[in-house]
Amino acid sequence: MLTVEADAARVETRLQAGEIECPDCGGVLAPWGWARHRVLRDANGVVRVRPRRARCSGCGGSHVLLPVFVLVRRVDLVDVIGAALLAKAAGSGVRAIAARLGRPVETVRGWLRRFEQQAEHVRVYFTVLLVDTAPDPVPPTASASRFTDAVAAVVGAWRAAASRWPDVGKVSPWQMASAASRGRLLSPIWP
């Protein structure tokens, strides 16, 4: 699994030109078919995606090129899930978040539980990213909650990256988090 930009045409152009490298060995990825069609939910309806599949000329491994707005094994786009995480960090309850997003309570509860389980890994990873990226880093101050600290670290790392590379500011903090975690922000196996 490799997270790539949202523009499928640009990804295809880069793939054809040999400009995407294998995350495992650094070899050149080449087109190798397509993954299955996926119907995903955004804030306003559905998005249909058919991710590109690529094969490495070096190690022979195959990778699904997952758009930056998608998380592995999630039907909802990362910005919808990110909105739930931000709301929880701000003190909202799961029922209120679910009602605001128009999602089942159990779905939202699952996102929040999974993020809570990985909160310390997320906090550490994104705090290190913030410190390594920012020209004059100021890590987020600790709060009473690991969950809130992890959310603050993601947003802080995004701000640091956007201040250094303006193109990063074109994506949301959650899309950057998806890219940095290789789509595994809510995965039980943290990258």
* One domain, residues 61 and 85: no
46 three-state secondary structure: strand
CA atoms of 93 and 16, how far apart (whole Å): 47
Which of 43, 67, 91 terminates a domain? The answer is 67
Residue 190 has pLDDT above 80, yes or no: no
* One domain, residues 36 and 111: no
123 three-state secondary structure: helix
Which of 67, 87, 112 terminates a domain? The answer is 67
Residue 66, CA distances (Å) to 110, 142, 153 in order: 22, 33, 23
- Are the CB atoms for 80 and 42 separated by under 8 Å? yes
pLDDT, mean of residues 9-37: 95
Which of 67, 92, 121 terminates a domain? The answer is 67
Element housing 78 (H / E): helix 78-89
Domain that residue 42 falls in: 2-67
The pLDDT tens digits for 129-153 are 999 998 888 888 888 899 999 999 9
* One domain, residues 41 and 104: no
Residue 164 maps to a domain: yes
User: Which DSSP letter does residue 37 get?
Assistant: -
* One domain, residues 62 and 92: no
Residue with tokens 């990873």: 125
* One domain, residues 131 and 60: no
Answering whether pTM is above 0.95, one says no
* One domain, residues 38 and 125: no
* One domain, residues 102 and 9: no
* One domain, residues 82 and 176: yes
Closest CA to 163 of 125, 142, 136, 123: 136
Q: DSSP labels for 137-154?
A: --PPPP-S-HHHHHHHHH
For residue 60, the model assigns a pLDDT of 95
* One domain, residues 98 and 51: no
Residue 191 has pLDDT above 80, yes or no: no
pLDDT, mean of residues 99-122: 97
Residue 146 maps to a domain: yes
Domain tally, the chain? 2
User: Which residue type, as a one-letter code, is found at position 71?
Assistant: L
Residue 136 maps to a domain: yes
* One domain, residues 144 and 53: no
Q: Which tokens go with 65?
A: 């090129």
* One domain, residues 103 and 21: no
Report the mean per-residue pLDDT for the chain.
Answer: 94
